[in-house]
Chain A
Amino acid sequence: MIKYIKDFILKENIELGSMYSLLKLSPADGIMPDMIPGQFVQVDIKGSKNTFLRRPISINFVDKEMNLLWLLVRRAGEGTSTLISAPAGEAINLILPLGNGFSLDNGKMLLIGGGVGVAPLLYLGKILSEKDSNVSFLLGARSKQDLLELEEFKKYGEVFVSTEDGSMGEKGFVTTHSILNDKFDLIQCCGPLPMMKAVAKIARLHNTQCEVSLENVMACGIGACLCCVEDTTEGNVCVCKEGPVFNIDKLKW
C-alpha cells in the first residue's frame, strides 16, 4: 500500500469524558487514502514544546460517505493532550496508512477490546460485517462511563461488555466473560498488554486462532529506525512495519 504524508483538516473534536477525544478529520485535498483496519497513522503534534516525534494513533474508523477519518485518542502525555485539545479547523499532518492490519477473514469472529484499545475494532467490525462475517464485540472497561463508542459498535455486531465495577455488562475482566465459552474461528484483540496476554492464553486453551495489536514506543513508524521491536519467533521485528497486528503463534508469549 502506498504511504502518504498528508494534511488533514480537523472537522470535529468530540470529547468523550475527560480522558478521550474522537477526532474526525477530512483530507485537505479531498482524497482519502485506502486503509486496512488495524493500520495506524503518525500524527505531527503542533504547539507542544516537549513533543519532538510524531505520535502513532490507530485508525478508529473511515467514514467513506462523509470522507472522514476517525481517530480515537487517549490523553496519555503532553503530545496526546495537545492533540485532543486541537480546535476544529486546524490542519493536522499525518503519515498514513502504516503497519499491516488485521486479517479480514470470513467466519465467526470475536473482537475483544479494552480501554482505548477498542479503537481499531470499530473499523474492523464494519469491514468484517460487510464480508458477511458473524461479528461479536467484547468490550472491557473499568466502569460504564469508560466504555467508548458503544452505539457505533452496535451497528456492526452483537456487543458484550465487561466492567470491573459491574456498572454495565458482566462484572470483571473481559477474560472472565461468559461469551468466551463459545467457539469462534478467530479472536482479534487490542488493549492493555496484560489483557492481550490473558486473551492469548484463553485462545490457546480453546485452540482458537488469535491476533493481537501491539503498542510500542515508535520513532519513525515506517520500519527505518528499528526502535519499536517485538521479540518474535523470527527474532526482533518492527511493530510499526511487521505489525502492529501479530498472530499469537508468532509471539513468544
Chain B
Amino acid sequence: MVDLSVKIGQLELKNPVLTASGTFGYGEEFSDFIDLNRLGGFIVKGTTLNPREGNPYPRMVETPSGMLNAVGLQNKGVDYFIQHIYPRIKDVNSQIIVNVSGASIPDYVAVCEKLQPLNKIAAVEINISCPNVKQGGMAFGTTCAGAASVTKEVRKAFNRTMIVKLSPNVTDITEIASAAEAEGADAVSLTNTFLGMAINTETRRPYLSTITGGLSGACIRPIAVRMVWQVANTVKIPVVGLGGIMNGRDAIEFILAGATAIQVGTANFIDPSVTVKIIDYIENYMQRHGIASMQELIGGMLK
C-alpha cells in the first residue's frame, strides 16, 4: 500500500487530488459520475459577499487544446451558500474548500468571517487572480503589495488553512508567492487562467462579451508546470499545482515539479469522472516506481 495522503497547513488530504474552483460546481453536479468521497477535496465555485450575475453571454470559446472563459464569478453570494448549499454538501467524506473572491479587502474579510464558524469548511482559497472581473480579482494578484494586504487581513478573519490562488499574469510569480507567504498564507495555488483573447475573423468581432478572458486547458500546462517549479523552489509553504491537468500523467508532472497537491479543472468538463482516474493513476504510478509516500514524490524531478 502506498500512502497518498498530504498535508497543507492544518488541512489533511487523503490524496493530493482536488478540483479547481469554477469547474466542479458544488460537487453535486458530479455525483452521478463519481463517488465524491474519493476526492482529496473539492474547491467550490468562487464565492463573493453579494450575489453576482457574472458577465453577459457569450462567455466561452474553444481554442487550440483549451478554452477561454469570461464567466465573471457568477454566484449567489456567501449567505446563500451558507444557508442552501453548505447543508447539502457538508456531510461528504472529503475536504470542502471555499474559493473566496472580492472587489475589495473588506469583501474578502467579510466572506471569510462568515465561513469561519462552518467547521466542515476545512480551508479557504483566496482568489486574487480572476481575470474576468473589473474590480478586485486579479488586481490584488498582480502586485506584491496587493497580494500581501489581502493575505494579511484575511489571515485575521480565518484561522484554518488559507491557500492563496495566484495569477500567472505577472512578470515574476515567485515575488507574489513570497509576499503571500510572508503574510501568513498556509499555501499558494497556481496557476489561475492566463489572460487571452480570440477574434472571429469572419464577423471581425471578439468571441467573448468581455473581449478578453481566461485561458485554461492542456495548452497552458507547460507554463503552469514551470511556474509551479519556480515557486516551489522559492517558498517554504506547500504549493498546490494546477493548469491543464488532463490525466494522471499530468498530475504526476506537477507533483514532480514541486506541487504537494494538484487541482483538476477544465478536464472535468470533458470527462466528469477524470478525478478518480487520476487518483487511481497516482496510486498505480507510485507502486510501479516503488514510491511509498507522497513525501518521496513531491519535488522529485531528477536533474
Contacts from A to B (Cβ < 8 Å): 2-5, 44, 50-54, 95, 216-231, 235-236, 241
A216's nearest neighbour on chain B, judged by CB, is: B57
Q: Is the CB of A224 within 8 A of B269?
A: yes
Q: Among the listed B62, B74, B272, which residue makes an inter-chain contact with A5, where contact means beta carbons less than 8 Å apart?
A: B272
Q: Does B58 contact A (CB under 8 A)?
A: yes
B33's nearest neighbour on chain A, judged by CB, is: A5
Segment with Cβ contacts to A, from B18-26, B116-124, B225-233: B18-26
Q: Which residues of A contact B71 (CB under 8 A)?
A: 225-227
Q: Does B64 contact A (CB under 8 A)?
A: yes
Q: Is the CB of A227 within 8 A of B218?
A: no
Count of interface residues, chain B, beta-carbon cutoff 8 Å: 35
Q: Is the CB of B272 within 8 A of A225?
A: no
Q: Is the CB of B74 within 8 A of A224?
A: no
Q: Is the CB of B271 within 8 A of A219?
A: no
Known contacts A52-B65, A53-B67; is-contact A226 B269 (Cβ 8 Å): no
Per the bound structure, the CA–CA distance linking A223 and B28 in Å amounts to 10
Per the bound structure, the CA–CA distance linking A236 and B56 in Å amounts to 8
Q: Which residues of B contact A229 (CB under 8 A)?
A: 54, 57, 59, 74
Q: Is the CB of A3 within 8 A of B268?
A: no
Q: Is the CB of B69 within 8 A of A225?
A: yes
13 additional A-B residue pairs with CB within 8 Å, beyond A218-B60, A226-B74? A2-B32, A3-B32, A3-B33, A52-B67, A52-B217, A52-B218, A53-B269, A219-B67, A226-B22, A226-B71, A227-B59, A227-B71, A228-B60
A241's nearest neighbour on chain B, judged by CB, is: B29
20 pairs, A vs B, C-beta closer than 8 Å? A2-B32, A3-B32, A5-B272, A51-B62, A52-B62, A52-B64, A52-B65, A52-B66, A54-B269, A54-B270, A219-B266, A224-B25, A224-B29, A224-B268, A225-B60, A226-B54, A226-B59, A228-B59, A230-B57, A236-B53
CB distance from B52 to the nearest CB of A (A): 10
Per the bound structure, the CA–CA distance linking A17 and B284 in Å amounts to 49
Q: Binding site of B, secondary structure by majority: helix, strand, loop or mixed?
A: loop
Contact with A along B66-97 (1 / 0, CB 8 A): 11010100100000000000000000000000
Per the bound structure, the CA–CA distance linking A188 and B218 in Å amounts to 40
- Which 5 pairs show the lowest CB-CB distances between chains A and B? A227-B60, A220-B269, A224-B25, A3-B32, A219-B269
Q: Which residues of A contact B56 (CB under 8 A)?
A: 231
CB distance from B55 to the nearest CB of A (A): 9
Q: Is the CB of A217 within 8 A of B58?
A: yes
Q: Is the CB of B59 within 8 A of A224?
A: no
A2's nearest neighbour on chain B, judged by CB, is: B32
CB distance from A46 to the nearest CB of B (A): 12
Per the bound structure, the CA–CA distance linking A230 and B103 in Å amounts to 25
Q: Is the CB of B74 within 8 A of A217?
A: no
Q: Which residues of B contact A54 (CB under 8 A)?
A: 269-270
Number of A-B contacts (CB under 8 A): 89
Contact with A along B259-303 (1 / 0, CB 8 A): 000000010111111000000000000000000000000000000
Per the bound structure, the CA–CA distance linking A230 and B25 in Å amounts to 18
Per the bound structure, the CA–CA distance linking A222 and B273 in Å amounts to 13
CB distance from B192 to the nearest CB of A (A): 15
Most chain A beta-carbon neighbours within 10 Å: one of B63, B218, B266, B269: B269
CB distance from B41 to the nearest CB of A (A): 16
CB distance from A144 to the nearest CB of B (A): 28
Q: Is the CB of B57 within 8 A of A231?
A: yes
Q: Which residues of B contact A53 (CB under 8 A)?
A: 62, 67, 269-270
Most chain A beta-carbon neighbours within 10 Å: one of B60, B268, B273: B60
Known contacts A217-B60, A225-B69; is-contact A235 B29 (Cβ 8 Å): no
Q: Which residues of B contact A95 (CB under 8 A)?
A: 272
CB distance from B85 to the nearest CB of A (A): 13
Q: Which residues of B contact A51 (CB under 8 A)?
A: 62
CB distance from B221 to the nearest CB of A (A): 13
Known contacts A223-B29, A224-B25, A226-B59; is-contact A50 B64 (Cβ 8 Å): yes
CB distance from A221 to the nearest CB of B (A): 8
CB distance from B205 to the nearest CB of A (A): 14
Most chain B beta-carbon neighbours within 10 Å: one of A95, A216, A219, A221: A219
Q: Which residues of A contact B66 (CB under 8 A)?
A: 52
Contact with A along B24-50 (1 / 0, CB 8 A): 110001101100000000000100000
CB distance from B228 to the nearest CB of A (A): 22
Contact with A along B159-193 (1 / 0, CB 8 A): 00000000000000000000000000000000000
Q: Does B61 contact A (CB under 8 A)?
A: yes
CB distance from B81 to the nearest CB of A (A): 15
